[in-house]
Chain A
Amino acid sequence: MATDPLEALRQPVVPIPPREAFAVELRGRLVEALGLRETGPDRSATTDAAASQPVVSVYLCAHDAAAAIDFYRVAFGAEETLRMTADDGRVGHAEVTIGGNTVMLADEYPELGILSPQSLGGTPVTLYLHVADVDIVYARALSAGATAEREPADQFHGNRNAVLRDPSGHRWMLSQPVEALSAEEMAARAPDLTVETPAERQPPASRPDGELGYFTLVAADVERAAAFYGALFGWRFDPPGPGDGGHTYSHVGNTSLPFGFHSDLGDHSPHHYYRVEDLATMVARVRELGGEVLDVTDYASGGNARCRDDQGIEFDLWQPAPGY
């Protein structure tokens, strides 16, 4: 057979990696179609990171996302963890962590209506950044190219704040706690404002008796428990203080059911506080049913009756004070 010049077209398969965004998306479709959970070692890190992320995260659009990442690194100590660059050179998606939280960002995609504050001529959103020292971060941000909007100053609510615009036009409020103030204290400092918490604004709907309202756990060292569970679950412990019996006590207020840790209650069982509408009636009912009422105490949080049921199991009745 005569030579066939077309044989020169032979093209063995040379691996070509596709766009990363495509590769990631297709992998996701594959895993979902197979009904599998991702187990690949290269993805477990991001999956773990996703699990520890807050439910709401910020996704910014920047006129120049690469420059924005540089700014966040210099000004706010951001660490870049992911960048997906499209064929046209635009950053389609990038992730940085600032103080342990992921902030996502991308270049402008005008064809999708994704525009930066620069193109929109402003932003309705303020990003609130908790920092250890407002003045230092503020100065660093300005020297990295941010625009000053409000110099650092102590505020009536007990924080020291400053406001700046980053080079992309995003508005950041830097905040550092100076004093812990109650709503009443804030109100006293800002007479033209009504300061209240939702609990004060709207009395809770009446709840049936017997709903668990509070509980306490016992730890030999409350501060260690705060460090351990704070790291494990993000529980926020109030600064440990003296409890009613001379022991150390710390309240955890950021769970849907509030609770507290005691250093010592004489026993190591958790205490359960069941909400009741009318403590006196329920105390009488406990006695009628063969239970025992050990003591009745009035706390700031409401009336409390320590009881023992007819099998010897201890529990507390709690008539919450208004606002609890």
Chain B
Amino acid sequence: MSGELAPAASDQGATLVALYDRALPQVYGYLLPRARIPAVAEDLTAETFLAAVSAVQKGTVPDLTVAWLVGVARHKLVDHWRRQAREERQLRAVEETAVPWEDPWDAHLDAARARAVLDTLGPHHRGALVLRYLDGLPVPEVADQLGRTVHATEALLVRARAAFRRVYEEGEDGD
């Protein structure tokens, strides 16, 4: 074992390994329905645990729990969408800037179809909606996760909902 590792840190390392069997299905179970692609969920799961290792080694983990690991997984998911959005932005000429006016929408969503619709959205919209609705985070926390202001996040959520609704209702017509 590395001599640089503080005793507390090495204890937490052992705790992390001991926690692994219990935490792994939780972390993967958080990531898979949100990332949707098993290979991506595996990559993000690995990133999550390896990030936990470096946090443990730096001694910056206040409370090493499954909940904390799921929080790390959420960060990794947001990072993933951010990378994806960056790649896709290079393909898209115009970023949506205007905030559309939002019609009240009273519908009962079919969960399976709603997930399929989420898959078709751009990563920035999908990310915002997953954090807000699948994870149930309040808007200020979504803003915090995405590194945006609350105002910008509200605007993003309005656009994301509009994009979601457009695709969802198209599907309804098509069926």
Q: Are B17 and A34 in contact (CB under 8 A)?
A: yes
Interface centre among A11, A14, A38, A40 (most CB of B within 10 A): A11
List the B side residues contacting A5 at CB < 8 Å.
105-109
List the A side residues contacting B18 at CB < 8 Å.
40
Q: Are B32 and A16 in contact (CB under 8 A)?
A: yes
* Selected interface stretch from A25-33, A57-65, A293-301: A25-33
Q: Are A35 and B5 in contact (CB under 8 A)?
A: yes
Interface residues of A in 171-204 (CB under 8 A from B): none
Q: Chain B interface secondary structure, helix, strand, loop or mixed?
A: helix
Interface residues of B in 96-127 (CB under 8 A from A): 104-109, 111, 114-115, 118
Q: Is B147 an interface residue (CB 8 A)?
A: no
Q: Are B13 and A14 in contact (CB under 8 A)?
A: no
Q: Contacts A8-B114, A26-B45, A36-B13 given: A18-B105 contact, CB under 8 Å? A: no
Interface centre among A2, A15, A30, A34 (most CB of B within 10 A): A34
Q: Is A87 an interface residue (CB 8 A)?
A: yes
Q: Are A30 and B30 in contact (CB under 8 A)?
A: no
Interface centre among B28, B111, B115, B164 (most CB of A within 10 A): B28
Q: Are B20 and A30 in contact (CB under 8 A)?
A: yes
Q: Contacts A23-B24, A35-B1 given: A13-B105 contact, CB under 8 Å? A: no
- CB-based closest 5 A-B pairs: A15-B25, A16-B29, A34-B13, A9-B133, A11-B134
List 27 A-B pairs, Cβ < 8 Å: A5-B107, A5-B108, A5-B109, A6-B114, A6-B129, A7-B133, A8-B108, A8-B114, A9-B109, A9-B133, A9-B134, A10-B134, A13-B30, A16-B33, A18-B28, A18-B38, A18-B41, A19-B42, A26-B49, A27-B20, A29-B46, A29-B50, A30-B17, A34-B16, A34-B17, A34-B53, A36-B14
Given contacts A9-B133, A14-B33, 8 further A-B contacts (CB under 8 A): A2-B104, A5-B105, A6-B133, A9-B134, A11-B34, A22-B45, A27-B20, A39-B17
